Structure 1
Amino acid sequence: MAYELTGKIKLIQEPQTFNSGFTKREMVVTVDDGRYPQEINLEFVQDKISLLDGLQPGQEVTVSFDIRGREYNGRYFNNLQGWKVEAAAAAETSADYGAPAGGEEPPPYGDDDIPF
């Protein structure tokens, strides 16, 4: 099941590689939640760690993630595993609502022309 959150990056950890060859990288995103902002830790594993390259603390992002759970020695653990990151600035600049498709200039209209 996929989930999504939007917030500002607080921290991006360095990648961690374990003896088994497993690699992960964690990022903390601060999400406004009323009076008390929440600091959400998300992990990116294996080939998904490259999604964090080029991101900076303070940057607004939307992260798509899955919730993963497991049992270890009678205790239960949950992880938020990210698989997609979109920087807010990139989303805003990619959509230019005033320009027509194809990047063409709109046709000129005179004072007596009706554009519909």
Structure 2
Amino acid sequence: MRDLIARAFAACLRSILAVLLPAEGRHRTAPAKAAEQPSGAPVATPWPRSPYAEYNADPTPLTGEDTPLVRPFVIAYEKAFEAQRARVAEQEAQRQRRLAVAAALDGFDVGPDVIHGVRVPMSS
């Protein structure tokens, strides 16, 4: 049984080495050259074409402008981050407005000095 396994292993190893390391020495046989086809003849494909290939065939090559370079989840994260930043800015502006109203109720004028391009005199 061991002899049978050893011979099978040796045969497999020999066939793998023959594919990976072909003998092309001076006295050894070289692989047969493929016959050249005329320039007008169609080139034979190694695999049969799918019947769906003619429907999906696109004569124009892909360009970089047609495909997105960034993954969609990165864009979604950036949009969410910008929305969060806008909410925080609005909350800060509202906090400042509430603080101005609270100060005005106590008698402090903290409003803007310029309204619609006109300087407002500050009352004392």
Could you say which structure has the higher strand fraction? Answer: 1
Q: Give TM-score, length-normalised by structure 1.
A: 0.20
Could you say which structure has the higher helix fraction? Answer: 2
Task: Please say which structure displays the higher CA radius of gyration.
Answer: 2
